[in-house]
């Protein structure tokens, strides 16, 4: 009887573990709702592809339709405008070339904020003026959405390998939600402070890199001159 009881207890424990694993799996799948991605250039395409690899359905668009084909072939849904993306996704990442592009994509006639849903998380990974990030955050807040800046350090190779570093600025309470997505595309995610702090950190990082490059160039010139004496 004791042996029978022990066998039943072990079976019960194994069954409970199996049920727990199923529940964890279901919760994980439930969290992977569609993610919008706008800007499918040399950096944006591999970043969006890494979201697909991690099981997130991606809804994307780009100003140049031909840029969308590669991601569409990987399984993404392609739409015609940022506003359409905002209608279908409550988490949107943008990766754009410059401040004017960001302003247009967010506030233009077919921009995200024309159709954004309340509670939407907007993450901009472009490298732009911190003042523009703050401006977009204010505009998003008026629509009930949350804007975070998250510029990246690392080039196309790092984007392809999901080894980027993200420098994040925004409301700290939203950081975990942003981190869930950013860790699919990067090896390091650093919270820098309020909106615009990520851009400020990126500017400092770029300045340090430029100083290093200038120092290297001047050192090489000095060495060449000495050899020619």
Query: Hey, which residues are catalytic here?
Result: 202
Residues 6+ apart with CB under 8 A from 164: 47, 152, 153, 154, 158, 185, 186, 187, 188
Residues β-bridged to residue 164: 186
Q: Going along the chain, which residue ranges are E strands?
A: 35-38, 58-61, 77-78, 91-94, 121-124, 146-149, 152-153, 164-169, 186-193
- CB 70 within 8 Å of CB 42: no
What kind and span of H or E run contains 193? strand 186-193
Strands 164-169, 152-153: pairing kind: antiparallel
Helix, strand, coil % in the chain, rounded to nearest 5: 55, 15, 25
């Amino acid at each position: 009887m004791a042996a029978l009881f022990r066998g039943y207890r072990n079976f019960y424990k194994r069954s409970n573990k199996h049920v727990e694993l199923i529940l964890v799996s279901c919760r994980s799948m439930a969290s992977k709702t569609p993610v919008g991605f706008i800007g499918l250039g040399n950096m944006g395409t591999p970043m969006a592809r890494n979201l697909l690899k991690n099981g997130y359905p991606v809804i994307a668009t780009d100003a140049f339709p031909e840029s969308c084909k590669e991601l569409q072939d990987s399984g993404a849904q392609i739409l015609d405008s940022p506003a359409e993306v905002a209608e279908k996704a409550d988490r949107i990442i943008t990766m754009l070339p410059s401040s004017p592009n960001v302003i247009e994509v967010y506030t233009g006639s077919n921009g995200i904020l024309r159709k954004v849903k309340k509670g939407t998380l907007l993450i901009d990974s472009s490298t732009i003026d911190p003042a523009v990030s703050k401006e977009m955050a204010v505009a998003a807040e008026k629509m009930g959405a949350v804007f975070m800046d998250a510029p990246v350090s690392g080039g196309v190779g790092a984007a392809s390998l999901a080894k980027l570093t993200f420098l994040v600025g925004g409301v700290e309470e939203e950081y975990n939600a942003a981190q869930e997505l950013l860790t699919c595309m990067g090896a390091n995610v650093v919270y820098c402070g309020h909106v615009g702090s990520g851009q400020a950190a990126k500017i400092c990082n770029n300045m340090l890199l430029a100083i290093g490059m200038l120092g290297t160039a001047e050192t090489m010139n000095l060495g060449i001159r000495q050899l020619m004496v």
